[in-house]
Amino acid sequence: MNYLREKVAKYAVPREVVFLDEMPLTEVFKVNKKALREMQLKKLQLDQAVEG
């Protein structure tokens, strides 16, 4: 991320990077944004469970 911070504007650097085994897609092969949100919620719940 340091390299990226040196090369692009501050607002263009992501706060976090998530690696997925597979991108969730709809039936017409578009990114399934609902599935991504659900994955993010599950991750947040797991993170909170580990912390608390």
Tell me the mean pLDDT per 10 residues along the chain, length 52.
Answer: 89 86 94 91 81 72
Angle CA(41)–CA(1)–CA(4) in degrees, nearest 5? 115
- What pLDDT is attached to residue 41? 83
- What pLDDT is attached to residue 8? 93
- What pLDDT is attached to residue 35? 93
Helix, strand or coil, per DSSP, at residue 44? helix
SS3 content of the chain, % helix, strand, coil (to 5): 55, 5, 40
- What pLDDT is attached to residue 40? 84
- What pLDDT is attached to residue 52? 67
- What pLDDT is attached to residue 27? 96
Residues 6+ apart with CB under 8 A from 5: 13
DSSP string, 9-29: -GGGS-S-----SS--B-TTS
